[in-house]
Amino acid sequence: DQQVKQNSPSLSVQEGRISILNCDYTNSMFDYFLWYKKYPAEGPTFLISISSIKDKNEDGRFTVFLNKSAKHLSLHIAPSQPGDSAVYFCAASGGGYNTNAGKSTFGDGTTLTVKP
């Protein structure tokens, strides 16, 4: 049972437009969500996160939205740049300092291609 799902394996957008990457989760115990970006031959790099007590978090061109009732989060990149082309992973973890904390569950990733 995959608890974190990224249903779109790939997404292609034009430079300057908005990229929207989606992620769904099933475990209501998750209370912390993260997005990572991964370039080929490198490890994932943290991008942005959101706690379940918020519904939006912004950092420059990156905004993450959380809809707890729908168990859905999305990452918006605006405007998109060719350097944003990478694999984006959604991850979820739960519970402060309990045994679920830090135990991130990852989605399978979405490959974003930004065309010049």
**Which residues bind to another protein, rule: CB under 8 A?**
4, 6, 31-32, 34, 36, 41-46, 49, 51, 89, 91, 93-97, 99-109
Buried b (16+ CB within 10 A) or exposed e, 13-32: beeeeebbbbbbbeeeebbb
Which residues pair with residue 44 across a beta bridge? Answer: none
- Closer residue to another protein, CB minimum distance, 48 or 77: 48
Phi-psi region for residue 109, left (φ > 0), alpha (ψ -120 to 50) or beta?
left
- Closer residue to another protein, CB minimum distance, 8 or 79: 8
- Closer residue to another protein, CB minimum distance, 13 or 47: 47
- Closer residue to another protein, CB minimum distance, 36 or 86: 36
Nearest distance in Å: CB 104, another protein: 7
| 112 neighbors 13 (Cβ within 8 angstroms) | yes
Nearest distance in Å: CB 16, another protein: 28
